[in-house]
Amino acid sequence: MSERRWDEVDDFIGDLLIGDDRALQAALKASDAAGLPAIALSPPQAKLLHLIARIRGARRILEIGTLGGYSTIWLAMALPDDGHLISLELEPRYAEVARANAERAGLAGLIEIRVGAALESLRELIDEGAGPFDLTFIDADKPSTPEYFQLALELSRPGSVIVADNVVRDGALVDPDSQDPGALGMRRFHELLSRTAGVSATTIQTVGLKGYDGFTLALVGL
Ligand code: DHB
Ligand code: MG
């Protein structure tokens, strides 16, 4: 089973089930032209996130790690007209690209991008009483995922969903010799989940355009 075949299958899914929304294509092109790393979600992954938001009936969404706003746009497309999405981004240059992409997609009215270290921005959101969010998507620096999750929990309510990206990292998640800070962060994240009362979670391994990785889906207890 080759990685080329993984890509072919993602392309097949993209062609038949996802299509090529012009604003999303433009967002990827603008992100590439601005030199952003090509680490956005694949189209099938992004649509899964979009569908989770719709299944949840999400009206308020929190995203940690904006990059060029590709997943941000997919998530905002799941919101009702009076919905709101707050996305946190460390790099001012990425945030600018994402804002332009959101504008081009006609979704700027739903999307608020806050620049700064996410740990600080999350504490500010808690202080502001900005929660609860119906859905939080964690896709920022990997070592901090456990801390982002803990703060996201404070911004959740019973029934909220929290999704985290890149939790398997080529299997490094379970490699006892791995020194990769991201992989170690994801192991800590799973250990944290295992001892967090009132949260029900699973992790799904994925292959495709983004290689071998996975995501965690967590439901905050009802
Ligand atoms: C990286 C980050 C991501 O969010 C991702 O989906 C893939 C790779 C990275 O930092 O390498
Ligand atoms: Mg990611």
Domain of 13 in residue numbering reads as 3-220
63 lines ligand 1 (CB under 6 A): no
139 lines ligand 1 (CB under 6 A): yes
Q: Whose CA is nearest to atom 4 of ligand 1?
A: 139
111 C-alpha vs ligand 1 centroid, how far in Å? 22
| Neighbouring-strand partners of residue 89 | 115
7 C-alpha vs ligand 1 centroid, how far in Å? 17
Is the pLDDT at 52 greater than 90? The verdict is: yes
Looking at residue 144, what DSSP letter applies?
A: G
Is the pLDDT at 8 greater than 60? The verdict is: yes
CATH number, domain with residue 48:
3.40.50.150
Tell me, what's the pLDDT at 20?
A: 86
Tell me, what's the pLDDT at 2?
A: 74
Q: Please work out, in degrees rounded to the nearest 5, the angle formed at the alpha carbon of residue 19 by the alpha carbons of 16 and 20.
A: 155
Is the pLDDT at 222 greater than 90? The verdict is: no
Number of domains, the chain: 1
27 backbone dihedrals φ, ψ, rounded to 5°: -65, -45
Tell me, what's the pLDDT at 189?
A: 98
Residue 24: which region, alpha, beta or left (left: phi > 0; alpha: psi -120 to 50)?
alpha
66 Cβ partners below 8 Å, 6+ apart?
72, 87, 88, 89, 94, 95, 98, 113
- Does the predicted TM-score (pTM) go above 0.85? yes
Tell me, what's the pLDDT at 1?
A: 55
165 lines ligand 1 (CB under 6 A): yes
Is the pLDDT at 74 greater than 60? The verdict is: yes
Contact 145, 186 (CB under 8 A): yes
Is the pLDDT at 51 greater than 80? The verdict is: yes
68 C-alpha vs ligand 2 centroid, how far in Å? 12
Average confidence score pLDDT of the chain: 97
Looking at residue 206, what DSSP letter applies?
A: E
39 C-alpha vs ligand 1 centroid, how far in Å? 5
Mean predicted confidence (pLDDT) in 8-29: 96
pLDDT in tens, 81-137: 999 999 999 999 999 999 999 999 999 999 999 999 999 999 999 999 999 999 999
pLDDT in tens, 199-213: 999 999 999 999 999
Tell me, what's the pLDDT at 106?
A: 97
Q: Which atom of ligand 1 is nearest the CA belonging to 40?
A: 6
pLDDT in tens, 124-181: 999 999 999 999 999 999 999 999 999 999 999 999 999 999 999 999 999 999 999 9
Ligand nearest to the CA of 71: 2
